[in-house]
Structure formats: structure tokens, C-alpha cells
Amino acid sequence: MSGQLLLIDNDSTCAAALGSALSEALLVTPQVCLAETGRMAAERLRNGRYDIIIADLGSLADLAPSIEDAMGRLVRLAEGALVLAIADSGSVSAALGAMRAGAHDYLAKPVSGAALAGRIGELAQRHGRPRSLGVETGPEPVMADFAGFVGASSAMQFLYEQIGRVSTSSAPVFITGESGTGKDVCAEALHEKGPRQNKRFVAINCAAIPRDLMESELFGVVRGAFTGAHDDRKGAAELADGGTLFLDEIGEMDLSLQSKLLRFLQTGMLSRVGETAARKVDVRVICATNRNPMQLIAERKFREDLFYRLHVLPIHLPPLRQRPSDILVLSRHFLARYAREEHKSFTGFSAEAAQLLTAADWPGNVRQLQNLIRRMVVMFDGGEISAPMLSAADIESQPLAPVAVEAPRAETRRTVLPMWQQEQRIIEDAIAVFGGNISLAAAALEISPSTIYRKRQNWADMAATG
């Protein structure tokens, strides 16, 4: 059987040469159909089915206002075909947009037939169609979990492979993806799989720390540099020396600090706030954002030179709606995990509940699904998860009906500290564990540093008023 291949390129000569070279490189001869424009390609996809689509991004301008929208239309019309984007090597933003829209891979021009055939072989094997695309190989084992990720879809298999390749390098990594897709998990996986795994992984959330404190949290401070700086203190970059520095929500960093970060990336040298001497630091920098970096650059909220310094190895995390086969896999994983934590027994999901889960859009992605399953485990005692149980726990979609809570019997009551006192003890203990570094304590507690600053001020005010 020969594969059906749609090649989109407005340069018919180059397209014909690439199609011929690809036919020679594959084990079987594919039936190649050429389309010179995006609209022509869309029409062909409406009238026929293809195993693979190779799209020159520069040829899609007539299909939609942006490359991302054009690729999104092609992916929807492709009905499961493998989609590869090709573009000039300088078209980083276009490639990123294509991957966000659902393209399975991106290759920079010039592309040889052999290289393209090899990449098609890898993708075909992963997507379960090796024979139709001329790849005679045995079935590839599918991983359902990997370094904190859970999912067996083709999108996740590709992500696992990317992490495995990228983790061995010391070059900066730029992670993009919607909120809740696991950008922090990806950063930790890159650290744990790489040669710096025995050194520290230090994360700092650029959106959570007040602007006037961000520089000292990142680069450290010397005693007396400003009011409240009672001791010399290392910043996140220095604490991560030899390891990995993760800058989450990098797009929220103040422009004035971006220039200092750029200088640090260029020289590997930093100075604590209030210090004139420079210190040599060796870190691998990983950053992440849920925003479109090119839009931030256009709005002059992010330095273009900093973006290209950081955007060496891009990784895009697919939203949950683009990998529906993983929804039940994740749901069962979270159900088992939280049932153990709550000492309850659940047997799984009913057919109606499973249908509700897989049909949802999940705008909050994996985090939204995780919160829903955890909330449901807490609310109910066990057994099979039914559709009414899911609906009752889904407070994001509809208000939760009031549930009567029986007061504990007198003989089982214990002395319980007020919530603020328990919270204070937990937070202060975490700060002590990390030697007074609020950013690290906040990361461990999975809250923002600004929350700790605000609560400590509230506690101080309460103590002052008696």
C-alpha cells in the first residue's frame, strides 16, 4: 500500500524536487499531491484523505490572517493525518505558532528527502501507521507516564522524546503552553533527566514577586543594600549554581530587570543588589510562559534580544483538548492518587461520567481536571463515580448545591488551632528550612512569594494590636 501525501508549496519546482527525493527515500512510493496555496490544500483535504501533510508555512498566507490560524484550519481538515511544517530557519515564531496549532513537527529549510523521510518514519511509528508510510518496523512501546507527566497519546509520546533529547544539553529552553499544561513539570523533568540532576533545581515565579523585590530574589542582596536587608543573601541564580534555574512566567518580568538578565545570560556573571563585585555562576536556564512571546515583543513588554537568547530549544506543551485520549488516563491516575490520600475506595468511572469527562473542553487543562477529581474524592465516600457526582463537584461550571455537614461528636473532638495559626506555623517552618529564602519556601508550598509577604505583614499587624 502506498501512502497518500499532500505537499503544500507555492514553489512548484522545489515541491516537485522534494516529492521526488522523498519517494526515493521511503520504502514505498507515496502518491504525492501538490497544492500551491493554503486554500487549494484546504479544498483537497475536503475532497480526500491523506496520511501525511507537508506544509511550507510561507505558502499558507491566503488561508488565514496568521500562520497559527492557517495551520489550525489544516489540522482540523486533516482528520488525523501527520502534519509537518517546513519554513526558513529564521521563522522561529511561525514554527512555534504551527506547533501550537497542532503540527506534529517542524523542520527548517533546506530539507533533504532522506532527513524528511527519517522524520516521517519516526512520526508514523509513533502514530501507529508505519506500513502506509513505508516504515517496516515493529510496534513501539507506549509510555503512559514519564517524569511526572501522565498520558499515552501521540502528542505526549512526542513530548517525552523531546524532553529526552533536550535534557542532555546545557542550552536554554523556552517552554510555552496554556496555564495548567504542566510547564513546571516539564522544567523539572528536563533537570532530572539531564547531567545536572545532582545539583539544585531552583524555581522563581516572575509574576508572583513584587517588582521592587524581584532583582534581590533573582540575584541576591548584600547587607544594608536597602531597608530590611539585614544579612547577605544569595538569590535564586546563585543558589542554582551548577544546576538549573527555572524562570516561570518570564513574560511578566519588568523590562529593566530583563536587561540585567540578558547581561547575566551573556556573561555568566552576576552582582547582588548593593554589591559592585561580580560573581561567576554556572546555571542552565529554563523559562516558561503561557502568553504569546511574539505578541509581548510587539507590545514592547519583552525584549526581542532576550527572547532570542532564551529561545534556543523550544518546547510547546499541548492543551488537554488536543489529546482527548489522555483525559481518562489522567482521571484514573488522579482518582487512585487522591483516594489513597483520603483513605477511600473508588472503583472507577461510569460510562456516563467518562463521557462527560472526555467531552469537556478543559480550559484550565490538566490542573482543572486534577482539581475536579480531588474535590470529588473529598466530597464523596467511594464507589463508582457517576455523572451526578461529577456534576456536583464541577463548581467551575455550575454552583455547588449546599451539603449538610454533621458536627463531630463531643467525644471525638480535639483541640484545633485557628486556621491562621496553623498557616503561620507551616509557612514559618518552610522559610526556616530554606534558610530564610521566601521564594524557595513559596515554591515548596506551591504558593506565590507575594502571598507569604502579605500574610507575614498581617501577622505582624495582629501582634502589634494585641
Nearest CA to 56 out of 19, 23, 21, 31 is that of 19
Considering the domain boundaries, does residue 408 fall inside one?
no
How do residues 238-283 score in pLDDT, each as one tens digit?
999 999 999 999 999 999 899 999 999 999 998 888 787 888 999 9
- The pLDDT-based confidence of 202 (bands split at 50, 70, 90) is very high
* pLDDT number for residue 134: 45
Q: What are phi and psi of 453, to 5 degrees?
A: -60, -45
Lowest mean pLDDT among 226-240, 391-405, 412-426: 391-405
Considering the domain boundaries, does residue 72 fall inside one?
yes
Q: Estimate to the nearest angstrom the gap between the alpha carbon of 228 and the chain centroid.
A: 36
* pLDDT number for residue 136: 41
> H helices of 302-437, where?
304-310, 327-342, 351-359, 365-379, 387-393, 419-433
Considering the domain boundaries, does residue 154 fall inside one?
yes
pLDDT at 406 over 60: no
Give long-range contacts, CB 8 A cutoff, 24+ apart: 164-171.
164/193, 166/190, 166/313, 166/315, 167/191, 167/192, 167/193, 167/194, 168/193, 168/194, 168/195, 169/194, 169/313, 170/195, 170/196, 170/284, 171/284, 171/312, 171/313
* pLDDT number for residue 23: 62
d(CA 37, CA 42): 9
Residues near 374 by Cβ (< 8 Å), separated by ≥ 6?
A: 334, 338
Considering the domain boundaries, does residue 144 fall inside one?
no
Number of domains in the chain: 4
Considering the domain boundaries, does residue 407 fall inside one?
no
pLDDT at 135 over 70: no
User: 258: part of which helix (H) or strand (E)?
Assistant: helix 255-267
> The domain spanning residue 338 has which CATH number?
1.10.8.60
d(CA 57, CA 168): 30
Residues 351, 275 share a domain: no
Give long-range contacts, CB 8 A cutoff, 24+ apart: 296-305.
296/251, 300/255, 301/251, 301/255, 302/250, 302/251, 302/253, 302/255, 302/258, 303/255, 303/258, 303/259, 303/262, 305/262
Residues 32, 120 share a domain: yes
Residues 273, 154 share a domain: yes
> The domain spanning residue 31 has which CATH number?
3.40.50.2300
> Of 318, 352, 374, which residue constitutes the final position of a domain?
318
* pLDDT number for residue 204: 93
Nearest CA to 173 out of 156, 153, 193 is that of 193
- The pLDDT-based confidence of 354 (bands split at 50, 70, 90) is confident
- The pLDDT-based confidence of 405 (bands split at 50, 70, 90) is very low
pLDDT at 180 over 70: yes
Compute the average pLDDT of residues 138-145: 53
pLDDT at 184 over 90: yes
Residues 206, 58 share a domain: no
Residues 393, 427 share a domain: no
d(CA 286, CA 248): 8
How do residues 27-75 score in pLDDT, each as one tens digit?
455 678 888 898 998 998 888 888 888 888 888 888 888 888 888 888 8
**N-term to C-term CA, the chain:** 83
Length of the chain: 466
* pLDDT number for residue 33: 86
pLDDT at 210 over 70: yes
Lowest mean pLDDT among 133-137, 230-234, 264-268: 133-137
Considering the domain boundaries, does residue 314 fall inside one?
yes
Nearest CA to 123 out of 96, 104, 136 is that of 104
Q: Are 143 and 152 in contact (CB under 8 A)?
A: yes
How do residues 420-445 score in pLDDT, each as one tens digit?
777 788 888 778 776 677 776 776 67
Nearest CA to 74 out of 33, 96, 103, 95 is that of 103
pLDDT at 308 over 70: yes
> The domain spanning residue 270 has which CATH number?
3.40.50.300
Residues 116, 175 share a domain: no
Considering the domain boundaries, does residue 411 fall inside one?
no
Residues 289, 209 share a domain: yes
pLDDT at 224 over 70: no
> Of 266, 300, 318, which residue constitutes the final position of a domain?
318
Residues 261, 155 share a domain: yes
Q: The C-alpha cell of 344 is what?
A: 477511600
Tell me what the pLDDT averaged over the chain comes to.
Answer: 80
The percent of residues above 90 in pLDDT, for the chain, comes to 26
Residues 276, 216 share a domain: yes
Considering the domain boundaries, does residue 305 fall inside one?
yes
> Of 399, 430, 448, which residue constitutes the final position of a domain?
399
How do residues 356-368 score in pLDDT, each as one tens digit?
888 888 889 999 9
* pLDDT number for residue 167: 92
Residues 190, 116 share a domain: no
Residues 459, 376 share a domain: no
How many other CB atoms are there within 10 angstroms of residue 183's CB atom? 24
Peptide bond into 195 cis (omega under 30): no
CA atoms within 13 A on the CB side of 89: 4
Domain that holds residue 164: 149-318
Residues 300, 174 share a domain: yes
